[in-house]
Structure 1
Amino acid sequence: MKLRIYQVDAFTDKLFCGNPAAICPLENWLPDGMLQNIAQENNLAETGFYVKNGDHYQLRWFTPTVEVDLCGHATLAAAYVLFNHENHPGDEINFHSHRSGPLKVTRTNGQLTLNFPTDVFQVVPLTAALLKCFDPEPIKAYRGKADYLLLFNSEADIKELQPNLNQIAKLDSRGVIATAKGENVDFVSRWFGPRVGVNEDPVTGSAHTTLTPFWAKELGKDELTAIQLSSRKGHLFCKLLGNRVEISGKARTYLTGEIETA
């Protein structure tokens, strides 16, 4: 059996930037073991799989080691594939995740906008375990549903951050968001998830479901610009809408091909 596969650079308008995701359209769901094997073989931060179901698409995401609850860049990439390669009509796509519920993507002048639920987070103590995760050390800590969010003094701290991946992998979380106020944008961030097989993610859409409400409150504004300061860099536009967040960006196709599954 052959499967179509696309690789898309998300949250960028340039190749070799943003966050690469593999997307596989399916007619029906394959066994979970096969989905995980494909994701492991791709060896990208995430591989997204979707199946059309009536007026929406069921969508799942896998890192090389686990299935995850929510992935922004692979959702953006899946929408880009549907709009540009798979003949989806109109400018709106309704996805549904069995782990995260309804997820809508709209297209306006070549820009794609995700509509995701906001994260719920709270202040937590800056424990010795958290302080050991980075050099320099953070100044405040928060805990969301999946990740820790660590606040740092400056954008320079985020750029120069030295992660202790072994220590981060010991935390009881999917990963860690490191963030600070931006110099030329509202905020900057990086994301580390060695526990789920992603040492550092180039651009993490799902992390911005935490970052957007956090910085909206800190800065007193609901529309925000952001850069994820990985080596590939990603540019995002975020908007807080009550208990939902809009995360916008562009994408580019890098690769199209076929997978031989037998």
Structure 2
Amino acid sequence: MQAIDFWLVDAFSDRPFGGNAAAVCPLTDWLPDEVMLQMARQHNQSETAFLVRSDSGFELRWFTTHAEIDLCGHATLAAAHVIFEYLDWPDTSIRFSTRFVGELQVTRNGEWLTLDLPARDCRPETPPQALLQALGIDQARSVSKGKCWLVELSGREQVEALQPDFALMRQIGGLNKVCVTAADSEYDFVSRFFSPEVTMPEDPVTGSAHTMLIPWWGAKLGKTRMRARQVSERGGDLRCEWLEDRVKIGGQARTYMMGKVFL
């Protein structure tokens, strides 16, 4: 029998039950992909991060309950939290090598962890009427398309009030990933992220979406440093910096559970 340590971490939160939860499993060597997928399904979180120590840092992979994915911000933050807090890591920065987005880095400054991720762009695009219908709105300030739909609304109240029709989003192709956002008086911008075809139709805090939001809002506001909040039910604060082809995303993390998996 093989025993594997695991942690459940609330990322982008300074308290339990906030932010976005991810399971983290450090491994000695890579397990078969099917076993890691089964573990992710058993954990039943939006993402599980698996990592293996390397000469330069760690190799990192992310699995949902459906498949391996190319990037997950909050699970990367959770993995870094585990390494800093429990794996006797001596430095203030960690380098992760990944299969799909190259090398990533996380640095620690007190309670805050900062992700260094590739920026993603998007371009204005005419939305299908079904998109606005599924969101329950008649119009949007602007709509763009990149790795997901990016829908700008009139303000924070409208973003918070949305009650999407997830059944309709599932029926219509191309509406699986939708980010809604607006400028705000307290933060530079707020957002929510919907992905109805996965375990949790609304993602509580989405680091990967901010790889697109940060350059988009940076250009719109003429800023390189911004404060953001994802206004889901759990919610989370993010410190954002735009560095042309890279973005930095800062957040806090809290351990909720630790234990062992027996295979």
The bucket for the TM-score relative to the shorter chain is: over 0.9
Alignment partners' CA distance in 2, 1:116 and 1:222? 15
With over 3 angstroms needed to count, the CA separation of the structure-2 counterparts of 1:220 and 1:42, relative to structure 1, is same
Corresponding residue of 1:67: 68
Q: Shift of the alpha carbon at 1:52?
A: 1.1
What TM-score, normalized by structure 1, do the two folds share?
0.96
For 1:61 and 1:174, the matched residues in 2 are separated by: 19
Q: Deviations over 1:33-83 (max 9, x none)?
A: 111111111111111001112112111111111211111100000000000
Q: How does 1:91-240 map to 2 (within 5 A)?
A: 91-139=92-140, 140-144=142-146, 146-169=147-170, 170-172=172-174, 175-240=177-242
1:241 is aligned with what amino acid? L
C-alpha offsets along residues 75-133 of structure 1, whole Å, 9 cap, x if unaligned? 00000000001111110000011011111000012210000000121111121122222
Contact preservation (8 Å) 1:136, 1:162? no
Aligned length: 260
Structure 1, unmatched stretches of 5+, are none
Aligned pair in 2 of structure 1 residues 257, 41: CA closer, same or farther (>3 Å)? same
1-structure distance, mates of 2:139, 2:77 = 30
TM-score norm. by structure 2 comes to: 0.95
Amino acid at match of 1:207: A
Gaps of at least 5 residues in structure 2 are none
Shift of 1:138: 4.7
> Percent identity, aligned pairs only?
41
Alpha-carbon contact 2:121-2:216 (below 8 Å) kept: no
Give the deviation of 1:141 after TM superposition. 1.4
Deviation, structure 1 residue 171: 3.5
Query: Following superposition, which runs of at least 4 residues in structure 1 exceed 3 angstroms of deviation?
Result: none
Aligned equivalent of 1:8? 9
Q: What residue identity is the alignment partner of 1:84? A: E
Over aligned residues, Cα RMSD in angstroms?
1.2
